[in-house]
């Protein structure tokens, strides 16, 4: 298609960023969840699960979503959790590297298991008999702009100041799903590969076009046989809204980080100035005292007499005397 270039002013004031942050806190779903957490396309969720775990489940009806909404991060809905087989999968997509993900998963998994137990007829929390629950699998899908390894294992114990004393551990596997990374996994899940391709194309087009145009062009560039393309086209307005909101979130986080760094520099300069003035006053007082000591020494006063007269230690007088010599 013909792609018409328009000017796109991305400059924003501090007030606009605050407004953007407010919009983000009211934001509903991410595009990742919109695609892989959709009841009408559980086969995509199952394909993602198989690609991550190397499994070969074929019945998408085995997928049972148990996502907890409006949790933890900027009040956005958590991306995805579901039950299949003997495990509960907790999936998060992140466009920023976050080494604190294990804490989020700790909080989130507790809520998921509380929901699972309350809905279960087979699990009695206060039983004297060992109960059985599905094992958790915590996965963070990273597609940020910073270059990261294909796979990084994040541990809750790395957050603690004294990890050896912790009785709790949470392990999160972070998988880089940017186009060109984890090729084996992306090739094993066609919807994930196409999602990765879509995000990559949006980022390329947004350098020259408005974000809405970038989304249009990126969707159009997907192969005609792309499995997610009809879904994206039929929900284009919603897809655009999600992409714009996620983009605004990235800008907001970057802005807040820059503001924090700026505030830190100002505070640091202020503290440095105060400390400098304090040190200057101390050094000035010492210089004045040493001049008095030197004058008294030149008049024949003893070290002990001078220390007694000006109220300092004999060592201080000796130091001043050494400088004179």
Structure tokens at 303: 């070290």
Predicted local distance difference test score (pLDDT) of residue 250: 61
Predicted local distance difference test score (pLDDT) of residue 194: 97
Predicted local distance difference test score (pLDDT) of residue 79: 81
Predicted local distance difference test score (pLDDT) of residue 318: 83
Predicted local distance difference test score (pLDDT) of residue 22: 39
Cα dihedral across residues 232, 237, 238, 242: positive or negative: positive
Give me the residue label for tokens 């792609």: 3
Distance CA 187, CA 253 (A): 32
Please list the pLDDT of the chain residue by residue as tens digits (325 residues).
445 454 444 444 445 434 443 333 333 468 999 999 999 999 999 999 999 999 999 999 999 999 887 554 444 456 899 999 889 999 999 988 999 999 999 988 998 999 889 888 888 888 899 999 999 999 999 999 899 999 999 999 999 999 899 999 999 999 999 999 999 999 999 999 999 999 999 999 989 998 899 999 999 999 999 999 999 999 999 998 888 877 766 655 555 555 556 666 666 666 767 776 777 677 777 777 778 878 788 777 787 888 777 778 888 888 877 766 6
Predicted local distance difference test score (pLDDT) of residue 187: 97
Distance CA 201, CA 180 (A): 13
In the DSSP assignment, the letter for residue 81 is E
Whether the Cβ atoms of residue 218 and residue 229 lie closer than 8 Å to each other: no
Predicted local distance difference test score (pLDDT) of residue 120: 87
On the CB side of 241, CA atoms within 13 Å amount to 11
Predicted local distance difference test score (pLDDT) of residue 4: 47
Distance CA 322, CA 86 (A): 81
For residues 21, 27, 29, 30, the Cα torsion angle rounded to the nearest 10 degrees is -20
Structure tokens at 100: 């604190």
Predicted local distance difference test score (pLDDT) of residue 290: 79
User: How far does CA 84 lie from the centroid of its chain?
Assistant: 28
Give the start-to-end residue ranges of the domains of the chain: 15-254, 289-325
Indicate whether this model's pTM tops 0.85.
no
By CB neighbour count within 10 A (0-12 exposed, 13-18 middle, 19+ buried), where does 110 fall?
exposed
φ, ψ for residue 97, nearest 5 deg = -65, 130
Distance CA 305, CA 309 (A): 6
Predicted local distance difference test score (pLDDT) of residue 72: 46
Cross-strand partners of 155:
171
DSSP string of 174-207, one letter each residue: EEE-STTSSHHHHHH-HHHHHHHHHHHHHHHHTT
Predicted local distance difference test score (pLDDT) of residue 245: 79
């Amino acid at each position: 298609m013909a792609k018409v270039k328009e000017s796109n002013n991305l400059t924003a004031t501090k007030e606009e960023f605050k407004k953007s942050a407010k919009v983000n806190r009211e934001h509903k779903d991410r595009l990742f969840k919109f695609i892989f957490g959709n009841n009408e396309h559980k086969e995509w969720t199952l394909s993602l699960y198989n690609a991550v775990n190397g499994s070969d489940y074929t019945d998408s009806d085995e997928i049972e979503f148990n996502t907890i909404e409006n949790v933890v991060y900027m009040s956005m809905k958590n991306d995805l959790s579901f039950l299949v087989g003997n495990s509960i999968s907790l999936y998060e997509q992140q466009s920023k590297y976050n080494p604190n993900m294990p804490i989020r998963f700790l909080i989130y998994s507790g809520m998921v298991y509380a929901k699972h137990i309350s809905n279960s007829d087979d699990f009695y929390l206060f039983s004297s008999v060992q109960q059985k629950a599905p094992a958790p699998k915590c996965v963070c899908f990273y597609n940020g702009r910073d270059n990261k390894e294909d796979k990084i294992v994040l541990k809750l114990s790395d957050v603690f100041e004294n990890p050896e004393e912790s009785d709790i551990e949470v392990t999160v596997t972070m998988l880089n799903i940017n186009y060109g990374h984890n090729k084996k996994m992306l090739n094993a899940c066609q919807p994930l590969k196409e999602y990765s391709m879509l995000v990559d194309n949006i980022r390329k087009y947004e350098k020259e076009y408005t974000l809405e145009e970038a989304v249009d062009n990126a969707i159009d560039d997907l192969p005609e046989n792309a499995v997610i393309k009809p879904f994206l086209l039929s929900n284009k307005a919603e897809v655009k809204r999600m992409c714009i909101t996620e983009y605004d979130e990235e800008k907001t986080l970057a802005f807040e980080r820059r503001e924090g760094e700026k505030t830190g520099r100002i505070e640091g300069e202020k503290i440095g100035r105060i400390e400098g003035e304090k040190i200057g006053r101390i050094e000035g007082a010492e210089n004045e005292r040493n001049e008095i000591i030197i004058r008294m020494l030149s008049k024949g006063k003893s070290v002990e007499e001078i220390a007694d007269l000006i109220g300092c230690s004999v060592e201080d007088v000796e130091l001043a005397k050494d400088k004179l010599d």
